[in-house]
């Protein structure tokens, strides 16, 4: 269960309800990209079964490592979910099933060369995920991994070990999958990358990592049943209202703070969702994130005392999955015996309460967001809550939440500098400026 504590004014709550109407009635800008709304309630059982089939096939092949290739919306949701659900020291523990590792989300030569080193001697498969099927980073990574898999298992073997998630008809990845005979999953046309975690984009890697995708979708469905209610208690409405109220009051940066390192990539997913959806037309709250208490020892000073442009959303988890209490020490040289018998999480909670009060005293307003515990169901609720909150908030701001015109700029320059055919003149101009 997701809870939110924030106190927006009636004026902003009413504005948020108007924006919710636009989202619910599907008559706002970008309304041809609203397919994500119905994913939790309309995902057919056959899709789950298809995912199960890939998991079972690769189990039979003895796959030890799955390379999930994608970037942005084609990567962050799966990464966030797997990281949240995995053991903190997963990478150093004996594997219980295939490990999912990620590629194609950067262009680092070291990263990809070291990935190949890591794959050596292991049974490998790959999921390549790209809606457009033309994004440079995953396309390059896939070229590298495809050639590695083909060299190891032959063309026929590669066909059993490569799955593509892409558009139903368009793009180089779709063409290649048809030609090579790869199993493919479709990203629906009306679902944008950053809203695609509940499509095969997220579901396949999450299932392969051994997690319960039905529970994830069920959690999202539970949130979908609440998130469109037209009242001031609706938490998506409250979140959108308070964000816009703070923004209009001069707070242009939202810091999403968690108190559990497993939630680091949830923040990365959230940053993409809100950054790409709202940052346009010279407007938008800049989404930033921190993991406390770690970052209280780095960013804490700025938050407490720097420029007063921040508000915080403190995101906590009510119940831990593990238990650890603090023991007594006969000598008490560290002076910590006053905490004997307390759970470590109690200290974490007091750190959260203390930092919230202190930051508020320092002029940083705080929203409290909590999740009952870290599991698939709660994560599904969380994703859907943030998605609806994002649509409502962006409509309040007066922007189209579902396009991303700004991400094309760097790509054109990169193509020109790389010498891609068709970009020669631009390349010449750019090189003069380097």
Q: Which residues bind ligand PA5 (CB under 6 A)?
A: 71-74, 130-132, 135, 138, 192-194, 276, 404
Q: How far is the CB of 274 from ligand PA5 (least distance, A)?
A: 12
Antiparallel, parallel or unpaired: β 2-5 and 366-371: antiparallel
Which of residues 32 and 424 has its CB atom nearest to ligand PA5 in the complex? 32
Task: Measure the CA–CA gap between 353 and 355, rounded to whole angstroms.
Answer: 6
Task: Measure the CA–CA gap between 141 and 379, rounded to whole angstroms.
Answer: 29
Task: Measure the CA–CA gap between 227 and 387, rounded to whole angstroms.
Answer: 10
Cβ 125 vs Cβ 161: under 8 Å: yes
What are the structure tokens assigned to 421, written together?
Answer: 């055919």
| Location of structure tokens 């380097």 | 434
Task: Measure the CA–CA gap between 233 and 112, rounded to whole angstroms.
Answer: 47
Q: How far is the CB of 71 from ligand PA5 (least distance, A)?
A: 5
What are the structure tokens assigned to 181, written together?
Answer: 């005979």
Q: How far is the CB of 202 from ligand PA5 (least distance, A)?
A: 11
Q: How far is the CB of 387 from ligand PA5 (least distance, A)?
A: 12
Question: Can 105 be counted among the known catalytic residues?
Answer: no
What are the structure tokens assigned to 170, written together?
Answer: 């368009």
Q: Which one of 45, 156, 297, 432 is the catalytic residue?
A: 297
Cβ 64 vs Cβ 95: under 8 Å: yes
Where helices occur in 162-256 by DSSP H, the ranges are 172-180, 200-208, 213-227, 235-248
Q: How far is the CB of 171 from ligand PA5 (least distance, A)?
A: 8
Cβ 311 vs Cβ 365: under 8 Å: yes
Q: How far is the CB of 312 from ligand PA5 (least distance, A)?
A: 25
Q: What is the CA radius of gyration of the chain?
A: 23
Which of residues 74 and 378 has its CB atom nearest to ligand PA5 in the complex? 74
Which of residues 31 and 132 has its CB atom nearest to ligand PA5 in the complex? 132
Least Cα distance to 192 among 44, 33, 37 occurs for 33
Which of residues 124 and 201 has its CB atom nearest to ligand PA5 in the complex? 201
Q: Which one of 268, 276, 312, 381 is the catalytic residue?
A: 276
How far apart, in Å, are the Cα atoms of 224 and each of 221, 259, 384? 5, 26, 7
Q: How far is the CB of 400 from ligand PA5 (least distance, A)?
A: 13
Least Cα distance to 378 among 142, 217, 182 occurs for 217
Q: Is 165 helix (H, G, I), strand (E, B) or coil?
A: strand
For Cα atoms 145, 151, 157, give the angle at the middle one, nearest 5 degrees.
90
Which of residues 143 and 342 has its CB atom nearest to ligand PA5 in the complex? 143
How far apart, in Å, are the Cα atoms of 415 and each of 74, 178, 194, 299? 21, 26, 23, 36
Which of residues 135 and 260 has its CB atom nearest to ligand PA5 in the complex? 135
Which of residues 234 and 277 has its CB atom nearest to ligand PA5 in the complex? 277
Q: Which one of 411, 424, 428, 429 is the catalytic residue?
A: 411
Question: Can 411 be counted among the known catalytic residues?
Answer: yes
Residues belonging to the active site: 276, 297, 411
């Amino acid at each position: 269960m997701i809870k939110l504590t924030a106190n927006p004014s009636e004026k902003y709550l009413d504005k948020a309800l108007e924006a919710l109407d636009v989202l619910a009635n599907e008559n706002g800008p970008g309304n041809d990209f609203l397919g994500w709304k119905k994913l939790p309630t309309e995902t057919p059982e056959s899709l789950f079964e298809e995912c199960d089939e890939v998991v079972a096939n690769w189990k039979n092949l003895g796959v030890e490592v799955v390379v999930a290739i994608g970037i942005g919306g084609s990567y962050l949701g799966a990464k966030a979910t797997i990281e949240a659900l995995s053991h903190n020291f997963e990478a150093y523990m004996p594997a219980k099933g295939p490990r999912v590792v990620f590629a194609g989300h950067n262009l680092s030569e070291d990263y990809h060369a070291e990935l190949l080193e890591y794959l050596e001697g292991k049974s490998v498969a790959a999921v390549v995920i790209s809606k457009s099927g033309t994004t440079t980073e995953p396309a390059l990574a896939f070229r590298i991994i495809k050639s590695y898999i083909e060299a190891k298992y032959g063309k026929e073997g590669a066909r059993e070990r490569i799955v593509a998630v892409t558009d139903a008809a368009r793009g180089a990845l779709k063409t290649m999958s048809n030609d090579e005979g790869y199993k493919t999953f479709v990203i629906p046309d009306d679902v944008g990358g950053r809203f695609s975690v509940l499509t095969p984009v997220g579901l396949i890697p999450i299932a392969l990592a051994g997690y319960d995708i039905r529970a994830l979708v069920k959690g999202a469905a539970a949130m979908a049943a609440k998130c469109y209610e037209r009242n001031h208690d609706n938490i998506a409405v409250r979140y959108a209202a308070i964000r816009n109220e703070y923004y209009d009051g001069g707070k242009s940066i939202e810091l999403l703070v968690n108190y559990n390192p497993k939630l680091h990539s949830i923040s990365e997913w959230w940053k993409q969702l809100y950054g790409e959806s709202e940052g346009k037309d010279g407007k938008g709250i800049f989404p930033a994130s921190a993991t406390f208490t770690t970052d209280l020892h780095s960013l804490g000073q700025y938050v407490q005392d720097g420029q007063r442009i921040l508000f915080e959303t403190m995101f906590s988890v009510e119940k831990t999955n593990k238990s650890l209490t603090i023991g007594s020490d006969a000598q008490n040289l560290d002076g910590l015996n006053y905490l004997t018998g307390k759970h470590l999480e109690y200290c974490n909670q007091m750190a959260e309460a203390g930092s919230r009060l202190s930051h508020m005293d320092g002029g940083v307003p705080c929203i409290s967001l909590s999740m009952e515990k870290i599991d698939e169901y709660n994560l599904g609720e969380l994703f859907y809550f943030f998605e609806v909150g994002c649509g409502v908030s962006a409509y309040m701001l007066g922007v189209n939440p579902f396009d991303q015109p700004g991400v094309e700029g760097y790509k054109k320059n990169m193509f020109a500098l790389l010498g891609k055919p068709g970009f020669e003149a631009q390349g010449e101009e750019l090189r003069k400026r380097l």
